[in-house]
Structure 1
Amino acid sequence: MNVTIEENRSHPRLPDLLGAYHLVNQAEKGTPVTAVADLPAVYRSEAEDPAAAFTADTVLLATATGDELPAGCVVLKAPYEGRAPEIKRLWVAPEARRKGIAKALMAEALRRAAASGASAVRLTVWNWREEPLALYRSLGFEAVASWDRRPDLLCLEKPLERPLERPVRPAATDRIDRLTPEEVRAHASEGLAALLLDAVDSGASVGFLAPLEAPEATAWWSRVADEAAEGVRDVWAARGPDGNLTGVVTLVRAGADNGRHRGEIARLLVHRSARGRGLGHRLLATAEAHAAATGLTLLVLDTQTDSPAERLYRGAGWTAAGTIPDFAADPAGVPRPTTLYYKRLG
């Protein structure tokens, strides 16, 4: 059976799934309750407001092909204090079990943990839960020294390998420079417009619907040049060996007095011909370094949930703050969820 995985800690189905998980969990521990309202406070808060309870974590839901609502969920907790990220709250509705949903959720959680750069992932499981325990062992989890001393609770861990990168030509062949307002204006109708057109043509959600016409792309960059002249936005562009622009990133400074410590990363674009050689990471790092050097202490951004850009930001140490369903349409006009990220500097 095909399963669709989405990240959405605000999905309306999630409270039901988490509530069912905790009610069964309480019953198995010998302290049954009949309603979510009667759960211990820490568990009740998860079921009643998962978006707040898991604000820094990755919440995945699984929907089987043909179904309208997710039938399973899992949480990948953000790492803290140098510890490995932890998988929690794996749950599949009883009527949807033995269809591969739990395995699909675990596979995606492990993939995301590896993509974030984690060297291992861990979890706990009650020793009487034979089916989940068998699944975890089949995925390579092994028992380790306990970090949770509750009786009958097993602590398991799995080492991770980071995805292999394909051989590529060195990223150093692309030179990154900060553009003056005049340079932004000079490149608006050609190199910069071409980057924006390429992004929309490749399906990236960057604020425009397809087909994006060159005059509209040029006009947008002309407005960016005005913002750069006003000191509102900084622009960096990457040039390949032939001098053509291969990527761009902008940093927008908050205008409100109480937000002068904050900036936003916007329009990080890498041309399809230049992808796969680390240029996106270099552009992002350049903007982050400049932000820190000029006194900013917090950066924010948003990106389409489950997009390749999400893997870039997670790998660069950004933290997911929440997901908004149907926040923005992709170039084809289909509403897609957006995940908000932040990164503290210094």
Structure 2
Amino acid sequence: MAPRTPLTFVFDPAVDAELRDGLIALWADVTDAGGAVGFVPPADPEKIRPELVRHFVAMAEGRTRLLVGYDEEGTVAATAFLTLNGHRLMTHWCWLYTVMVHPKHQGRGYGRDLMAAAADAARTLPGVEAIRLTCRGGTGADAFYTACGYREVGRVPGAIRVAPGDDRDDVIMLLTLGGPGSDGS
């Protein structure tokens, strides 16, 4: 097996057509591989596009930040969106959304690299002490996030309807980054 070339992570990359198209392609490929990223296969890029535009609007408004991992060819290979919590009593944590690693790169440690880079990015956000995310139960994602240091803090049974008769739990996970009032776990 060839040595693993690490992804190059960029926090707040310039948004242009190449990045937009790369994000849509990644999102579609992850969806088609069974990734729990808001859609079910088969992926339709024209249905993904409006969701990506919503992320871009939140970025333009300063509410969301983008972390992108590029592979050795310069292709978008991984992403995570960090969204600041707008509630005045909850600004000490942020949300992590749309966490994806391209299927051809999965199983090589890039997911853990992405999660470490997301934690590093969150540490640069003023006042942020923790990251919260949700994941679809029944996919193994919760075990992956646990291995990355997150802990399950809640679960809503049957909250995600993948298809008629296929309801999944919405699993709420938290990573404490450290700081005032933190136990560091």
TM-score band, normalised by shorter chain? 0.7 to 0.9
| 8 Å contact from structure 1 (residues 179, 235) kept in 2 | yes
- Between stretches 283-292 and 262-271, larger displacement belongs to 283-292
1:300 pairs with 110, 132, 147, which one? 132
Q: Which residue of 1 aligns with 2:182?
A: none
2:31 pairs with 200, 206, 213, which one? 200
**Unaligned segments of structure 2, at least 5 residues:** 179-185
Number of equivalenced pairs: 176
Q: Which residue of 2 aligns with 1:191?
A: 22
CA distance in 1, matches of 2:133, 2:116: 14
| 8 Å contact from structure 1 (residues 184, 222) kept in 2 | no
Answering whether residue 15 of structure 2 is matched by residue 176 of structure 1, we say: no
Residues 212 and 220 of structure 1: CA distance in aligned 2, closer, same or farther (over 3 Å): same
Q: Which residue of 1 aligns with 2:79?
A: 248
Answering whether residue 131 of structure 2 is matched by residue 276 of structure 1, we say: no
CA distance in 2, matches of 1:275, 1:215: 25
Superposed, 1:97-176 pairs within 5 Å as 169-172=3-6, 174-176=7-9
CA distance in 2, matches of 1:233, 1:319: 23
Q: Which residue of 2 aligns with 1:9?
A: none
How much does 1:211 deviate?
3.1
| 8 Å contact from structure 2 (residues 29, 43) kept in 1 | no
**Unaligned segments of structure 1, at least 5 residues:** 1-166
Higher relative contact order (CA 8 A, sep 6+): 2
CA distance in 1, matches of 2:167, 2:5: 34
2:160 pairs with 328, 336, 339, which one? 328
CA distance in 2, matches of 1:336, 1:185: 35
Residue identity matched to 2:139: S
Answering whether residue 49 of structure 2 is matched by residue 218 of structure 1, we say: yes
How much does 1:305 deviate?
2.0
Whose Rg is larger?
A: 1
Greater percentage in helix: 1
Q: Which residue of 2 aligns with 1:62?
A: none
Superposition RMSD in Å: 1.9
Q: Deviations 1:137-159 (Å, cap 9, x if unpaired)? A: xxxxxxxxxxxxxxxxxxxxxxx
Q: Which residue of 1 aligns with 2:144?
A: 312
Q: Secondary structure at the match of 1:281?
A: helix
Residues 184 and 300 of structure 1: CA distance in aligned 2, closer, same or farther (over 3 Å): farther
CA distance in 1, matches of 2:16, 2:171: 29
TM-score normalised to structure 1 length: 0.48
CA distance in 2, matches of 1:260, 1:303: 21
CA distance in 1, matches of 2:71, 2:152: 32
CA distance in 2, matches of 1:171, 1:305: 31
